[in-house]
């Protein structure tokens, strides 16, 4: 997943646009959102700025691993 930060002045507009495409997840109080590439395309097309960031300190992307059983 991709983590982004949206400027405060554009958060409401960005949020409404992004949830129309697919679910997003707030992963930090900063706020940092976990999004899909389609969200980034939408934001760019609508002229909404964003910053791609790493995961907040102490938090890493968790992936499920297949069991060998």
Whole-number pLDDT of residue 30: 86
State the Cα angle at 3 between 43 and 52, rounded to 5°: 65
DSSP bridge pairs for 51 = 5
Is residue 11 assigned to a domain? yes
Kindly give the parts of the chain with pLDDT less than 50. 56, 58-59, 61, 63-65
**Lookup: tokens for 62:** 């968790």
Residue 19 domain flag: yes
Residue 18 lies in a domain: yes
Task: Say if 61 falls within a structural domain.
Answer: no
pLDDT reported for residue 66: 53
pLDDT at 18: 96
pLDDT at res. 4: 96
pLDDT confidence of residue 29: 86
Q: Supply the pLDDT for residue 69.
A: 53
How many domains, the chain? 1
How far apart are the C-alpha atoms of 16 and 11, rounded to whole Å? 9
Say what the pLDDT of residue 67 is: 52
Query: Contact, 1 vs 49, CB < 8 A?
Result: no
| Residue ranges making up the domain that contains 21 | 2-53
């Amino acid at each position: 997943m991709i983590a982004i930060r949206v400027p405060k002045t554009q958060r409401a507009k960005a949020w409404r646009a992004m949830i129309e495409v697919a679910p997003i997840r707030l992963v930090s109080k900063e706020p940092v959102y976990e999004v899909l590439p389609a969200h980034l395309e939408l934001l760019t097309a609508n002229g909404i700025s964003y910053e791609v960031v790493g995961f907040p300190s102490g938090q890493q992307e968790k992936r499920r691993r297949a069991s060998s059983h």
